[in-house]
């Protein structure tokens, strides 16, 4: 799928141009899709047509949930990966504990914990259902991202750090300008896997009352008693969203692939 869109551009375009065009096109498709989704859905027969606005609104919530928790999750992943590789032992312990606890417990429990238990522990942390879901998803995907990013950092040869340090760059500059860009490229495919999984996992927000796509689907089928068309429509929207996501990430991957290993 990835190469299909990339290859659709004129032959005379450079790799960078094709990748940028793919990213822009996929972004535009995503925005148009979110904006105009209600129109084609409204044209569909019962029971989907009359619920078009609900489906469109649910999809918007799903995408928002994925974007917010996806961005936060990458940030958490970078912090935890750096923490796990830190020289300062307590940082390593904290990062390892986070990754261990999150990966060893169900996302459903984490989501319920943030929404129901966290306000009991700290009353100031009573979050809305959407914010609770976003936070739980971000913590969850962050732990998986951490492992991908850590592997990426370790895959950058030691000579890169030595060259950078011997030029006088500080440890932070070395990480930001030399190691991280290279490790991010290595970590990108597993990160994309995690984000696609996140988009699907966001359906669990249903249990704490977030009206996202799956919740809408279930409500509509409960009202119409027609689960087959309702869930086919629901699944189709998820499929379109994950496809757009992989197109964008494929383009980013190709953009970073300056050595053109994929051609």
Partner 1 sequence: MSHSTPQAIGAVRAPLPNPALVREPLIRAEGVNKHFGVAHVLRDVTTRFFQSEVAVIIGASGSGKSTFLRTLNRLEAHDSGRIVVDGIELNDAVTNLDAIRREVGMVFQQFNLFPHLTVLDNVTLAPRRVRGVRREEADAAAMELLTRVGLEDHAHKHPFALSGGQQQRVAIARSLAMSPRVLLFDEPTSALDPEMIGEVLDVMKDLARSGMTMIVVTHEMSFAREVGDRIVFFDHGRILQEAPPDQFFEGQQNERIRAFLGQIVH
Residues of this chain, 125-164, that bind partner 1 according to CB under 8 A: 157, 159-160, 162-164
Q: Is 209 in the site for partner 1 (CB under 8 A)?
A: no
Q: Is 38 in the site for partner 1 (CB under 8 A)?
A: no
- Residue with token string 């991010």: 184
Q: Is 17 in the site for partner 1 (CB under 8 A)?
A: no
Contact segment (CB under 8 A) with partner 1 among 103-111, 134-142, 198-206, 252-260 equals 252-260
CB of 167 to partner 1, least distance (A): 4
Q: Ramachandran region of residue 209, left (φ > 0), alpha (ψ -120 to 50) or beta?
A: left
Among 165, 200, 219, 255, binds partner 1 (CB under 8 A): 165
Helix, coil or strand: residue 13: coil
Are the beta carbons of 218 and 235 closer than 8 angstroms?
Answer: no
Name the token pair of 7: 């290859």
37 Cβ partners below 8 Å, 6+ apart?
A: 52, 55, 56, 59, 237
Q: Ramachandran region of residue 88, left (φ > 0), alpha (ψ -120 to 50) or beta?
A: beta
Contact segment (CB under 8 A) with partner 1 among 77-85, 138-146, 176-184, 242-250 equals 176-184
Cα 167 to its chain centre, rounded Å, is 36
**Given the complex with partner 1, which of 164 and 234 has the nearer CB atom?**
164
Sites of contact with partner 1 (CB under 8 A): 157, 159-160, 162-170, 173, 177-178, 181-182, 185, 256, 258-259
């Amino acid at each position: 799928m990835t190469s299909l869109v990339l290859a659709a551009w004129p032959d005379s375009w450079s790799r960078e141009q094709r990748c940028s065009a793919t990213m822009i096109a996929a972004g535009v498709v995503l925005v148009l899709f979110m904006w105009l989704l209600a129109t084609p859905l409204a044209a569909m027969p019962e029971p989907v047509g009359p619920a078009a606005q609900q489906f469109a609104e649910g999809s918007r919530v799903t995408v928002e949930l994925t974007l917010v928790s996806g961005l936060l999750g990458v940030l958490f992943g970078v912090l935890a990966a750096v923490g796990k590789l830190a020289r300062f032992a307590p940082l390593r312990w904290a990062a390892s504990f986070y990754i261990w606890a999150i990966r060893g417990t169900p996302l459903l429990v984490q989501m319920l914990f943030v929404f129901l238990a966290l306000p009991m522990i700290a009353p100031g942390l009573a979050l809305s259902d959407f914010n609770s879901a976003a936070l739980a998803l971000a913590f969850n995907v962050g732990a998986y991202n951490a492992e991908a990013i850590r592997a990426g950092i370790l895959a950058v040869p030691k000579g890169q750090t030595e060259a950078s340090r011997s030029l006088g760059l500080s440890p932070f500059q070395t990480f930001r300008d030399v190691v991280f860009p290279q490790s991010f490229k290595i970590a990108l495919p597993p990160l994309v896997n995690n984000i696609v999984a996140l988009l699907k996992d966001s359906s669990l927000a249903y249990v704490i009352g977030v009206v996202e796509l799956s919740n809408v689907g279930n409500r509509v089928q409960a009202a119409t008693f027609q689960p087959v068309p309702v869930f086919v429509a629901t699944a189709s929207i998820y499929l379109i969203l994950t496809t757009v996501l992989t197109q964008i990430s494929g383009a980013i991957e190709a953009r970073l692939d300056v050595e053109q290993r994929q051609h």
